[in-house]
Amino acid sequence: MADNRLQRLLGKGFSIAAGIGFVIGLGILRTPGEIATTINEPLPYMALWVVCAAFVLLSLLVVAELMAMTPRTGGIYALVAHAYGPYPGFLIGWSDWVANSASMALKAFVLAEYMALLEPRLAPYVEVVAIIVSTCFAMLQLRGVRLGATIQQFASAGIGLIVIALAAALFYGAFTAGGPANVPDVATPRGNMSWVALGTVVAAVVYTYDGWYAPSYFSGEMRSGPRAVAVGAIQAALIVAVLYILLNLAIVVSVPLGALIGHELALAGAIDAVYGAGAGTIVVVAAIFILLSHQNLQYMAASRVLYSLSTDGLGAQRATSVNDRGTPAVAVLI
């Protein structure tokens, strides 16, 4: 081990990549179908995505000030401990660590299930595949923070291109098929509009934008300091908002929103409706890529939370160990 201090090896590009990679997940592939059960008119549907994007950006502008004043790795833990003290920090820090670790395990399992959809012979080995995939990403982290950061930057760029490509495919389908009115055999049931249902879909959209604080997990490792973290988080949130609004606009001009109801991956349902049954398999491939990216990023984030808790005496002392490649290695293994 080199010492117990993280190294400033990350650039602003990684800050943006972390924000994009943490936000864009399965939510954008699933949430349109959840919304369509309540709102299936194009104008209010699009207004919901735009208003929620504005709400998230306003929230981020407030938190970005705190990010710029907190030159510590640790994400939400570091921010809350700075603002409110050690006890609230302790509660939110351990909650965040457990949530990240559980999310990583769940996503590895879902990833293996999607791989089994493409290759049915993997179905009896879903748990084994999940463990192998997750373990491989842990081993990659031990190779150094630069490797993890490079993987994430390429992965986030790939995720952005996937969203653009899916939107382009839907726009092209709308142009060649003549729009949602010409998609055959699609019924558009009336939405179940109530205050409870509306509140549920608003929460779903806000959650789909969630993760904009991701760059703060690495504030103590940024070469340009915490201000670059805050700026990177804002830039990432703006990019995600544009991508989400573009993709949802492509959906509403290509298929009736009612066609998405009942689909586990609503975007796959939209692709199937435009191009025929089976075309939506490409969305399963996209989901696998996104889930692989999340394995990398959540190992990086969760280990930083445990490292920061431990440096404050709220975790295991051994978890403060940093290897000569800048990785909190024991925290990764835990």
d(Cα 104, Cα 301) in Å, to the nearest integer? 11
| 125 CB-near residues (< 8 Å, 6+ apart) | 112
Token pair in block for residue 210: 């969630």
Q: What is the pLDDT of residue 306?
A: 97
Q: What is the pLDDT of residue 196?
A: 83
281: number of Cβ within 10 Å: 14
Token look-up 């399965």 returns 26
How wide is the angle at C-alpha 328 spanned by C-alphas 218 and 224, nearest 5°?
30
Does this model's pTM top 0.85? My answer is: yes
Q: What is the pLDDT of residue 59?
A: 93
Q: What is the pLDDT of residue 148?
A: 95
Q: Within 13 Å, how many C-alpha atoms sit on residue 277's CB side?
A: 3
Q: What is the pLDDT of residue 47?
A: 96
Q: What is the pLDDT of residue 190?
A: 54
* Mean pLDDT, the chain cut into blocks of 10 residues (334 residues total): 78 94 93 90 95 95 94 95 94 96 95 95 96 96 95 97 96 78 51 76 93 94 92 96 97 91 88 89 95 96 97 94 94 95
d(Cα 25, Cα 163) in Å, to the nearest integer? 11
Q: What is the pLDDT of residue 185?
A: 44
Q: What is the pLDDT of residue 230?
A: 95
